[in-house]
Amino acid sequence: MIIPALDLMNGEVVRLKRGDFSSRTTFSADPIARLQEAAAQGATLAHIVDLDGARDPQARQLPLLRKIAAASPIPIEIGGGIRTREEALAVLEAGVSRVVVGTIAVTDPEGTKRLIGELGADHVVVALDARQGESGWNVAIHGWQDLSALGLLGLLEDYRAAGLTHALVTDISRDGMMQGPSVDLYATLMDSFPGLDLIASGGIASLDDLRALREAGVPSAVLGRALLEGAFTVQEAVQCWQGA
């Protein structure tokens, strides 16, 4: 599945490089218009990150998210600083289909497993942002500012055993850089977790990148900067994905 992504800050569509708020690019695109256009071109799900909420949960853009969810012709998954059960419920009650949790999936795995059980596996996406080090892939937290001691594969194995269905994995060294995705990482994950709805994110810059991911067995890919900067269209991405 091709999943177009929009990052929202102060109601505007922006993109960051490697999660750095000081290196953002602001686009003039209206988020609702972008979602309508994406749906018309074949997208069946959209990914939205509330960057204001990621920095400060008290600043979460819930009124805007409600407006977007009500107007969107396709289901939406939303993430960005969701760290409690109450915040997850508030986001789902705004009318979205899936809530994306990242930091709490690392700092409170037992609580996250309970959340999956309560809300249902199809309504929770565990987002794991990883960076490769000397000992392998480790998971970052707090908006990518801190690298935890937890290994990516071990954490995914734990969640998979608890019924996890959807996992969004981002190589943070590539996010927003348009330098290609970590195909080898995703191929390894698919070998280790067959049947997992693995969502690749970070670095996708061309249709060839999409073909490489599809050939590696990846079920889904999130596309952000490449679409906003016109490297290809949603329709071209969908057609490529289906024909890869």
Closest of 65, 80, 9, 62 to residue 32, by C-alpha:
65
Whether 206 has a pLDDT exceeding 60, the answer reads yes
For residues 159, 168, 65, 140, the Cα torsion angle rounded to the nearest 10 degrees is 80
Whether 176 has a pLDDT exceeding 60, the answer reads no
The catalytic residues are 7, 129
Helix 85-93 × helix 109-119 angle, to 10°: 30
- In the chain, % helix, strand, coil (3-state, to 5) comes to 40, 30, 30
**Mean pLDDT score, 212-233:** 94
For residue 7, the domain's CATH number is 3.20.20.70
pLDDT of residue 114: 96
Both tokens assigned to 103: 């930091």
Q: Grade residue 240 by pLDDT with cuts at 50, 70 and 90.
A: very high
pLDDT of residue 30: 86
**Average pLDDT for the chain:** 89
Whether 18 has a pLDDT exceeding 70, the answer reads no
pLDDT of residue 15: 76
Domains identified in the chain, total number: 1
Domain interval for residue 198: 2-243
List of residues 6+ apart from 77 with CB closer than 8 A: 3, 45, 46, 47, 48, 96, 97, 98, 99, 100, 125
How far apart CA 108 and CA 163 sit, in angstroms, is 16
pLDDT of residue 29: 67
Whether 28 has a pLDDT exceeding 80, the answer reads no
Whether 91 has a pLDDT exceeding 90, the answer reads yes
The model's pTM:
0.90
Whether 103 has a pLDDT exceeding 90, the answer reads no
Percent of the chain with pLDDT over 90: 65
**Mean pLDDT score, 66-90:** 94
**Mean pLDDT score, 112-139:** 90
